Structure 1
């Protein structure tokens, strides 16, 4: 999503995503490996802290937008990009995340939510300098 400059989240802009965050409706950060969520391959694709929306397309776009904004927050100083390169080498996500950020996924998510509560400014950064 981040690499596609918003593709896949066309139905939800940052303002709407921030509104959901302020209502404490958000994706759940996870720190275990595998595809699609907590259970690994084919587990719940987008774990959230609120019940699924009836509009599946809107739900997907909301989740994509929130994850893109969190990635942008993490990528300040290009740490997230470095983390991805480290994972490409086969390193463990949970350990690598803690090494790069000095905090767990959940701690960084809490920091991100706190920042969003203080400001509604966009956290997006330009991809052309992201090294992706």
Structure 2
């Protein structure tokens, strides 16, 4: 098995890292820092996290990579995501990793099932990736 120093040898995925409950955010940020101290290389945020959720974990840590396990493309416009990726990359020294997924557009966003790409997830993802490639500051394939 290949070792990727950027991700570390062991990572952890947890939907609790989303920090939806504002009252628990300090505890979640403290847990992220502790997971970093324990040697985890990557913290994967489950449950279609937003870039803001990643920001909080990045700010609470200093070395660990933070990844959106599956950021729902229907919930985050590609141009805005490209700009946010650039900001997080610059602010946190490349520790942000963008994971994308098509997910369930019709149930997650309330868009109608007759949306042009509603039943074409592959086409929807290709279009999204093209927009990330063509952004003023492109999101690299490994980013």
Q: Do both share a fold (TM > 0.5)?
A: no
Tell me which structure has the larger Cα radius of gyration: 2
* Bigger helix fraction: 1
* Bigger strand fraction: 2
Normalization by structure 2: what TM-score?
A: 0.28
Larger RCO: 1 or 2 (CA < 8 Å, sep 6+)? 1
Normalization by structure 1: what TM-score?
A: 0.29
